[in-house]
Structure 1
Amino acid sequence: MAAEAHHGMQDESDDTRSWAGDFDPLGAPDERRVLFAALDSFRQYRRTAHANTTHRRRQAFYALPLSHAQILTEPPFSIMDNLNRVDDAIDMNADIADAILTTGLSSFCLPAHPSPDDSRLNWHGVATASDVNKAHSTIRQFYRDWSAEGKAERDACYTPVLRDLHREFREGQNPSENVRVLVPGAGLGRLVFDLCRAGFAAEGNEISYHQLLASNWVLNHTLGEERHMLYPFALHFSNLESRRQQLRTVAIPDVHPGAAVLEAQRNPGTPFGTMSMSAADFVVLYSNPSQKDAFDAVATVFFIDTAPNIIRYVEAIRNCLKPNGIWINVGPLLWHFEDDHQRTQSAAPENEKNLGIGEPGNVELTQEEVIKLITRLGFKLESSQPIKERAEIGYIQDPDSMLRSLYRPAHWVARKTSQSSQSLQS
């Protein structure tokens, strides 16, 4: 995305469109294709989840020897009954996907049933398998960001950010809307919302339409606190202790954003800031001169490893941070482009600095090298948590799974120095 669009929380009585800005994704063919693919992937959630989860398992089950299938059909196994229950769970999850789709179509003034002859409006049937997988993972992510059960994962990542910000901007006092905090890779918007509730002027940035559409729904269109049921683990059949574990439900959102806004309006003394979400390539938007020295703080949570070239991220953060502003980072280094063999094309011209995520080339650094890099590019490291002191946390982790994938995310704070960033060739 070359320009930006915004959506933020609305008053529940506000019927205006939740997207605004100078960016029209429908006016650019490439952007229109990406948006349409995201919308179509949520439309396909129900069908693809049934087909890939229960339908194929029924076919495989019927291929078993008849005597074996008979044993597993009866109690206490009742495999076919369980597949029926999984189908019900899929339909509940699909209701959320459909709600995201409905609000997305309304936001972009798109028809639910477009004419197949109108390429500008026909968004049906354009999603790839990769797009559909993103829709599936986005639905599961509500467990982490917007359920009470996901609080442990959030606390490990978001609480350090809030603690660092309160320490920097006078703990115990309302920081007011004067303190601007940028959250790149804001995902489903929970950290941005929590910062707003703490009194900061929070701006999230996200490039994924899947995340943007889902965050718009949860922030602006959910029916109330814990009014939507989610089965986060229903589509997974391995490493289960019991079927109850597979069919566990959680209620979302654990906090209703609209109700929080109304509560703050009724209690003027309650700290409550502002929030918005920009839809743009992080490097392209925040390297722009219009964003220079715009933010008091930048909080990157599970984000910097999404960079093909982390130097571009550091340069963008330095550009948009005010002098003496702080950069708070929490996250691992699971480099997203490590196995992307398509990025080995010829290098971009040196004067082409606004290619963002589409720039060719990629590199993976160690944690020690990341720290050395940021200090070389105009930051002073103020604190860094040793690896032995870091908490082990999952990411959308089933707490009862027989297989646990855990991170020990880094947590450090750096301050933008007044001196110019040094050349890498110095």
Structure 2
Amino acid sequence: MMICSSFILNHTQEANEWTIYPWIHNNCNSLSDKDQLRAVSFPDIHPSSAGITEGFSMCAGDFVEVYNEESQESAWDAVVTCFFLDTAHNIVEYIEIISKILKDGGIWVNMGPLLYHFADAYGPDDDMSIELSLEDVKRVAYHYGFVMEMEKMIDTTYTANMVSMMQNRYRAAFWTMRKDVSRSKAKKRQ
């Protein structure tokens, strides 16, 4: 994912410059032969026209290891998590770090399901996994100083072939939360 993202961000000259055939090797659930041969061009907009400004961050590594550093504390105005929270072994730790790295008044935008990636890991060498309900995720966020500004559920797909006979859909949580200055300071005093 990182190699592809870096390539698109750093080596694209125009919108729809690159073309791939993502379904060429999959002959299941096709309505017609031409569906399997369908091309997809990307990116839909040129990256430099997307409003990406100084301070945009993308780095390889474990979220906890990279952002749970003193240098990251109160360093960010906004954090966007998309199909991300459920990748955690410990979602509480992710939320704590998001709160820690946001400036007071900072915004957290989230979109995604809670399909916990490590929920079925049972071996003796597997890290434990914490799987909270959406209700409990919001409670934890509140505990770490977040206030809900907007919330809704969105029906969506993830890497889907929209003309396939098979459609996997998510009813994903979408929200904007703000790190509340007064609640954050109150937490620091305790």
Asked if TM exceeds 0.5, the reply is yes
Q: Deviations over 1:141-189 (max 9, x none)?
A: xxxxxxxxxxxxxxxxxxxxxxxxxxxxxxxxxxxxxxxxxxxxxxxxx
Post-superposition offset of 1:294: 0.5
| Aligned CA-pair RMSD | 2.4
For residue 339 of structure 1, what is the aligned residue in structure 2? 120
2:45 corresponds to which of 255, 270, 275: 255
Q: Which has the higher helix share?
A: 1
Letter in 1 for 2:154: A
Structure 1 ranges of 4+ moved more than 4 A: none
Q: Which has the higher strand share?
A: 2
Name the count of aligned residue pairs.
Answer: 185
Post-superposition offset of 1:237: 1.5
2:164 corresponds to which of 398, 401, 411: 401
Q: Equivalents in 2 of 1:319, 1:379: separation in Å?
A: 11
For residue 242 of structure 1, what is the aligned residue in structure 2? 32
1:277-296, aligned counterparts within 5 Å?
A: 277-296=58-77
Q: 1:236 to 1:308 in 2, by over 3 A?
A: same
Query: Are positions 1:392 and 2:150 aligned together?
Result: no
1:273 corresponds to which of 53, 60, 63: 53
For residue 412 of structure 1, what is the aligned residue in structure 2? 175
**Kept in 2: contact 1:240–1:402 (CA 8 A):** yes
**Kept in 2: contact 1:378–1:421 (CA 8 A):** no
Post-superposition offset of 1:331: 0.8
Q: Equivalents in 2 of 1:370, 1:221: separation in Å?
A: 38
Structure 1: 5+ residue runs without aligned partners?
1-210, 262-270, 346-358
Post-superposition offset of 1:281: 1.8
1:378 corresponds to which of 145, 157, 162: 145
Q: Equivalents in 1 of 2:91, 2:150: separation in Å?
A: 20
Q: 1:422 to 1:369 in 2, by over 3 A?
A: farther
1:309 corresponds to which of 86, 90, 113: 90
Post-superposition offset of 1:391: 3.2
From the CA coordinates, give the structure whose radius of gyration is larger. 1
**Kept in 2: contact 1:377–1:422 (CA 8 A):** no
Task: State the SS of the aligned residue for 1:409.
Answer: strand
**Kept in 2: contact 1:376–1:422 (CA 8 A):** no
Letter in 2 for 1:376: H
Q: Deviations over 1:187-227 (max 9, x none)?
A: xxxxxxxxxxxxxxxxxxxxxxxx11111111112454323
1:217-236, aligned counterparts within 5 Å?
A: 217-222=7-12, 224-236=14-26
**Kept in 2: contact 1:378–1:422 (CA 8 A):** no
Structure 2: 5+ residue runs without aligned partners?
none
Q: 1:247 to 1:369 in 2, by over 3 A?
A: same
**Kept in 1: contact 2:149–2:175 (CA 8 A):** yes
Higher relative contact order (CA 8 A, sep 6+): 2
Q: Equivalents in 1 of 2:72, 2:129: separation in Å?
A: 25
Q: Deviations over 1:219-274 (max 9, x none)?
A: 1124543232211111211111111111111122332336x49xxxxxxxxx6623
Task: State the SS of the aligned residue for 1:408.
Answer: strand
Post-superposition offset of 1:416: 1.8
Which is worse superposed, 323-332 or 217-226?
217-226
Query: Are positions 1:323 and 2:104 aligned together?
Result: yes
Q: 1:300 to 1:276 in 2, by over 3 A?
A: closer
For residue 78 of structure 1, what is the aligned residue in structure 2? none
Q: 1:239 to 1:316 in 2, by over 3 A?
A: same
Post-superposition offset of 1:372: 1.4
- TM-score, normalised relative to structure 2: 0.86
